[in-house]
Structure 1
Amino acid sequence: MHIHSNSIRIWFALQGLLAFSIMAGAEIVMMVRVYALYNRRKWVRYGFIALMLAEVLTAFLGIVLTFPPTSFDPQLIITTTPGSFEYFSISTLVSQTIVLVLSIARYRYMYKKGHWEGTRIIKLMLRDGTLAFLVFFMLSLLMAVYHILQQPFAPSEYVWSISIISVTECRLILNLQKLPFTESDTLTEFPEFTTVLTNDHSGPGTS
């Protein structure tokens, strides 16, 4: 089947936008968790909005500045990644680091105040958040390094990254939903989480 070279060129350029969209979804999940930890404070909300807008601007700027010329060789699509990956990866590394720093700072504060002693949901969020950060950070770093070094297996890393990011994002949500609701957090300085879903299948004749 003959595919027009311009179509391949456009698809190649927009790969960075696809990668950014998937990573942005995962980052929003992490940001919401941190936002809840800070009791939905305004400076956290507006800070995360500004951070996400900066990422969007950087991603689109990278696509515009690195858009392939008309002399683009279609065979490059299987041997290299678009230049926008460099912009996108660096911006996500900065964003993820900020989210992690805010998370650790809040966890330390809560631990010193004794707000999470025996609280399983906080321990779960700390564990999952740290693991997710390591996964996202490593994948973003590999995207940037592989592109800069023009490694021939960079496109394969990009494809695997999409799958890994999606799976990790799902686990962040599902782990909270599966956590048994065995305790309630009623401390005034700690938010009440409603992420855990409970289903009551009791019928009229059920005792």
Structure 2
Amino acid sequence: MSSEAAAFTRQYLNAAGLSLLVYEQFITWETEFQSIWRSSPWNVKLTFFIARYFSLGAQIANLIYSTPVFIRRQNGNCLPWFKLKFQTGSVMLLMWNLEAIMMVRVYALYGRKLWIGALLIFWFACCRASDVWFWTVGNDQLKLDMYCILTQVSATSRWMSLLVVINQTILWFLSYRKYRTAVRDQWIEQSPVLRTVIRDNSWTLLVLFGND
């Protein structure tokens, strides 16, 4: 596939993804308003806003600035500040938000024990420091063609992706361990939210493995 064809394919996928986000926004707005904006604490609102609306805004910006026609008008300048800083930074923020949500779930599943909370906070901080280091070093090694298609990926970017997969695998295992305990001891019906947690964690893990 040529670089131009890849750029148009990327644009079609961006448009399809944005359409799904907007559609889902409309059909779930009433539930969202009642469950999140009217009755949840501020930290839940914040994480939800990042996951829901920041991702939507980032996708809109991505759709605009990645349009092949727009890129052509820049005479081959694919705006490194956007591709290497805004896009990468947006993905990192969304991943940080996702991992924070997963860790809070694990913390709740294990009885909100102080030592588990402290361990998760330390783990989260170490991972974020690693991400920033990988991003700082790896961005300088990325190369783009005139259509903003990556032609060279740094080794640090691969390590960063591996770290994300490892984190999600560990969080999935910790959640699954509690789920199996609930099934074995037959109290799963008393906590149906546990099924939702393991379902969401499983889908997240599958998507990450598929992307990597």
TM range (shorter): 0.5 to 0.7
Helix, strand or coil at the partner of 1:75: coil
Q: Does 1:63 align with 2:135?
A: yes
TM-score (norm 2): 0.53
Match among 96, 111, 116 for residue 39 of structure 1: 111
Output the CA distance in 2 between the equivalents of 1:119 and 1:64: 43
Question: Equivalent residue for 2:29?
Answer: none
Output the CA distance in 2 between the equivalents of 1:34 and 1:106: 9
* Larger RCO, structures 1/2 (Cα 8 Å, 6+ apart): 1
Helix, strand or coil at the partner of 2:146: helix
User: CA distance change for structure 1 residues 119 and 64 in 2, over 3 Å: closer, same or farther?
Assistant: closer
Does the 8 A contact of 1:93 with 1:137 survive in 2?
yes
CA shift, 1:100, in A, is 0.9
Gaps of 5+ in 2: 1-72
Output the CA distance in 2 between the equivalents of 1:85 and 1:3: 28
User: CA distance change for structure 1 residues 3 and 44 in 2, over 3 Å: closer, same or farther?
Assistant: farther
Question: Equivalent residue for 2:165?
Answer: 93
CA shift, 1:76, in A, is 6.9
Question: Equivalent residue for 2:149?
Answer: 78
Match among 110, 128, 139 for residue 182 of structure 2: 110
Helix, strand or coil at the partner of 1:77: coil
Post-superposition CA distance 1:24-52 (Å, at most 9, x none): 21222222222111111123222222222
Output the CA distance in 2 between the equivalents of 1:138 and 1:96: 13
Residue 77 of structure 1 aligns to which amino acid in structure 2? C
User: CA distance change for structure 1 residues 60 and 122 in 2, over 3 Å: closer, same or farther?
Assistant: closer
Residue 95 of structure 1 aligns to which amino acid in structure 2? N
Output the CA distance in 2 between the equivalents of 1:122 and 1:134: 18
Query: What is the CA RMSD across the aligned residues, in angstroms?
Result: 2.9
User: CA distance change for structure 1 residues 8 and 82 in 2, over 3 Å: closer, same or farther?
Assistant: farther
Task: Please identify which structure carries the higher helix content.
Answer: 2
Output the CA distance in 2 between the equivalents of 1:12 and 1:68: 12
User: CA distance change for structure 1 residues 81 and 25 in 2, over 3 Å: closer, same or farther?
Assistant: farther
Equivalenced residue count is: 137
Question: Equivalent residue for 1:129?
Answer: 201
Question: Equivalent residue for 2:79?
Answer: 8
Output the CA distance in 1 between the equivalents of 2:207 and 2:131: 20
User: CA distance change for structure 1 residues 46 and 113 in 2, over 3 Å: closer, same or farther?
Assistant: same
Output the CA distance in 2 between the equivalents of 1:22 and 1:89: 14
CA shift, 1:120, in A, is 2.5
The percentage of counterpart residues that share the same residue type is 23
Gaps of 5+ in 1: 142-207
Does the 8 A contact of 2:103 with 2:120 survive in 1?
yes
Comparing 95-104 and 47-56, the one that deviates more: 47-56
